[in-house]
Chain A
């Protein structure tokens, strides 16, 4: 059941489904894109999220009930069958079990479900993997859809493009940490994230991204147009790197020369949903030619 809800007098929140799926994320993407094209006066923000979306309005220009009527029409007229997504495929290098997130997760052991193992060991065990190496393999084997951006500027929620039974799912910390290092790579619910800046957080910590996803000075070429790198609809491939490659990327970042390896792709939701394995191979094939 789709829920249309007021968020005070300035927001309308639409929950398309209670549970996460690629289908529902594509649907939110398709509806919000159509709404954007309509350029209705009085709309201040259009925020697609994982299984929902949210609109900020100026109610003096657009009554929330008028907007809701418009959104209900879109719900019925927009279909993901004829929806095409043009997106970037991005290679995102991650150093798993790095010293920085290790220090952070050890410091907050008393807030974790399992104080006696690391976040990675715990996540491997509850997801039925024989070892943490197998979990890392599963995380890096298939690409992710950036299904939502937010929390703080540029944080990408990434949902792996695999069938439900293959999804990795972990709880959030029992009580959130007060510290998470910048660029930490975490997992919570069915989502992988990178923390753009240092701060609080409750996701399981697995590693650290070598390159930034937020650059307020806009020093790196990938940030010429925006302080934030991830965009909803992007496809991220998390790749496990060695300490040596990590150091080399850090040097490029420091020198201001680092660029993400990216390529463009146009696809339909069905390409992904019908055959995720083939889609994934196609994606990786395009990225690492």
Chain B
């Protein structure tokens, strides 16, 4: 059992996500930065889909009630054990009674805490991920609160020895400005050529509205090609007949502020979507904070698939390193 002393800003139980229910309007939820999440699980010898804690901006204080093996990865929210600094990206052994707390965030936005065995919460529609908007999954469908007790599960594959670390080259570096790769398309035909060009050349600022549902950006107004609105679409030029929104898709309601939809997104609606963030860069999106800058870079499908393969290869190499060094 892990006791929650203080919950942090928003700490939720997440796994790979609830896949296959988009059709009924159920978003996948799941860890926003899957790269960091998977590495945390690998470092404690877990199944790659074991549930972990996603920690946002400000970490919780947790007390372990039995000896456990843990790892913290992701954005730099420095962990401390009984007040002493502890490493990230490394297998750590904690003793019953130890308290894990976190320092102020230095870089990135979200850290992942994996515990050997995984967090044991009920599986709802094939996943343990929390979807707070509808109160589904995770710990009672919500972010953690003080006094909660988390059970440790048995999603473990192998024992990894404390001190196992992943090579520095695999540790992502976070900054204050990001290039995020997108595939233009969907309903981008609705934007004027000039606005398409501006969308890709501006440095967009992340607004305070940046959470698991989506990120909203400030920059300048984008314009839509004038037309007589098609039947059923609604009167605003940014409206289309309600359609499905891909994860990572970007829409610009009324042309005012682009919104990128993420893991807890609404699955459809009536705004023209203009581009989609490639899967490899959704991990990086998860580490961006309010007031940081984003420039969207247009890539081809082949480039997106290459980036996806590179990410998978990296995970495969990390697995190799951990299985060699972690014995």
- Chain A residues within 8 Å of B, Cβ to Cβ: 3, 5-11, 13, 15, 17-21, 44-54, 56, 59-60, 63-65, 148-155, 157, 159, 164, 167, 169, 171-172, 188-191, 196-197, 199, 214, 216, 226-228, 232
Q: Verify A228–B25 contact, CB threshold 8 A.
A: yes
Asked if B324 lies at the interface with its beta carbon under 8 angstroms from chain A, I say no
Of the 9-residue stretches B41-49, B69-77, B162-170, B228-236, which lies at the interface with chain A?
B228-236
Chain A residues in 8 Å Cβ range of B244: 13, 47, 49, 52-54, 150
| Complex A-B: 9 CB contacts under 8 Å | A5-B185, A5-B186, A8-B246, A19-B231, A50-B243, A149-B24, A150-B23, A150-B244, A152-B25
B interface, size bucket = 35 or more
Q: Which of B23, B236, B246, B308 contacts A7 (CB 8 A)?
A: B246
Chain A residues in 8 Å Cβ range of B231: 19-21, 164, 167, 169, 190
A52 and B25 in contact (CB under 8 A), knowing A19-B230, A189-B270? no
Q: Bound state CA distance, A214 and B133, in angstroms?
A: 13
Q: Verify B134–A169 contact, CB threshold 8 A.
A: no
Q: Verify B247–A189 contact, CB threshold 8 A.
A: no
Asked if B268 lies at the interface with its beta carbon under 8 angstroms from chain A, I say yes
**Closest chain B residue to A9, Cβ basis:** B304
Q: Which of A45, A52, A191, A227 contacts B23 (CB 8 A)?
A: A45
Q: Bound state CA distance, A148 and B248, in angstroms?
A: 21
Per-residue CB contact flags for chain B residues 81-96 toward chain A (1 = under 8 Å, else 0) read 0000000000000000
Chain A residues in 8 Å Cβ range of B278: 8-9
Q: Which of B233, B248, B276 contacts A19 (CB 8 A)?
A: B233
- Chain B residues within 8 Å of A, Cβ to Cβ: 19-26, 133-136, 141, 182-183, 185-187, 189, 230-236, 239-244, 246-249, 266-270, 273, 276-279, 301, 304-305, 308, 312
Q: Verify A18–B240 contact, CB threshold 8 A.
A: yes
A216 and B22 in contact (CB under 8 A), knowing A13-B243, A13-B246? no
Chain A residues in 8 Å Cβ range of B23: 45-48, 149-150, 232
**CB of A154, distance to nearest CB on chain B (Å):** 6
Q: Bound state CA distance, A114 and B270, in angstroms?
A: 21
Q: Verify B236–A8 contact, CB threshold 8 A.
A: no
Q: Verify B186–A50 contact, CB threshold 8 A.
A: no
**Closest chain A residue to B135, Cβ basis:** A216
